[in-house]
Amino acid sequence: MSVTRERILLETAAPGESDGAAGSVSAVHVGVLVSGTGTILHAIVDAGIPVELVVADRPCPGLGVAERAGIAAALIERDRFDAGFDRTAYSVRLVDVLIGHGIDLVAMAGFGTILAEPVHDAFSGRIINTHPALLPAFKGWHAVRDALAYGVKVTGCTVHVAGLDVDTGPILAQEVVPVLDGDTESALQERIKEVERRIYPAVLRRILDQGTVPV
Ligand code: GRF
């Protein structure tokens, strides 16, 4: 199923050019990876960042955001969420699709699959991520819940260059979000996402303007 859908959605896309050098982006072709609601993708598109391809690892509203914006989208579906998941094979497939579209710069926007070496080898220094906590605190998928449970008075978000170690890599932007009395995970998450929707497109704009990832 995923192959068919992928093929249909990819028909509209035109390949670009990649110079292949780590950390260097000459003609910038941006690909965004999503797994969820896609509000950050939406903000990136609204900010005028020229997104050429959206890839999702599961059916999700983020694909609808891409379709409504007229952006080529690929569903490269994870077929397993347990220990049997072949992370390397998945990563190889993702690299094929990204390179097939001439993507230079990969922006993760709420992408729920940890990527293996093939992706980091192919896009070394050119994968950007936004994380809903002040790294290096509260890494992982439940960062907002974990920060709330710990009882921190402030948390926030971090835009960083992504590497093989999850939620690690040079920090490009960070902003503090106060935790309020009686906060719930969803209320805090939404306030954090409001900030991410502002600072993530700004970082991507800077990379596009400079033609390089500033690390
Ligand atoms: C963001 O908070 C991001 O940092 C986290 O997932 C969320 C994505 O939100 N990894 P959305 O799907 O773009 O609304």
The closest of 180, 168, 112, 105 to 139, measured between CA atoms, is 168
CATH class of 2-210: alpha beta
Q: pTM value? A: 0.87
Centroid of ligand 1 to alpha carbon of 93 (angstroms): 23
**Residues labelled as active-site residues:** 131
Query: Cβ < 6 Å from ligand 1: which residues?
Result: 36-41, 109-110, 130-132, 192-193, 196
Burial degree of 165 (CB within 10 A; 0-12, 13-18, 19+): exposed
Centroid of ligand 1 to alpha carbon of 38 (angstroms): 7
pLDDT one digit per residue (tens) for the chain, 215 residues? 222 223 223 222 333 444 444 554 446 899 999 999 999 999 999 999 999 999 999 999 999 999 999 999 999 999 888 889 999 999 999 999 999 999 999 999 999 999 999 999 999 999 999 999 999 999 999 999 999 999 999 999 999 999 999 999 999 999 999 999 999 999 999 999 999 999 999 999 999 998 888 76
CA-proximal residue: ligand 1, atom 4 (nearest): 131
**Cα–Cα distance for residue pair 129/107, rounded to 1 Å:** 6
**Cα–Cα distance for residue pair 196/202, rounded to 1 Å:** 10
User: Which residue from 193, 194, 204 has its CB within 8 A of the most atoms of ligand 1, so it is best to mutate?
Assistant: 193
Spatial CB neighbours of 100, under 8 Å, sequence gap ≥ 6: 10, 15
Centroid of ligand 1 to alpha carbon of 5 (angstroms): 24
Work out which ligand 1 atom sits closest to the CA atom of 112: 10
Give the other-Cβ count within 10 Å of 68's Cβ: 11
- H-state helical runs in the chain: 2-10, 39-46, 61-68, 87-100, 117-122, 143-150, 185-210
Q: How many residues does the chain have?
A: 215
Centroid of ligand 1 to alpha carbon of 109 (angstroms): 6
Domain boundaries, the chain: 2-210
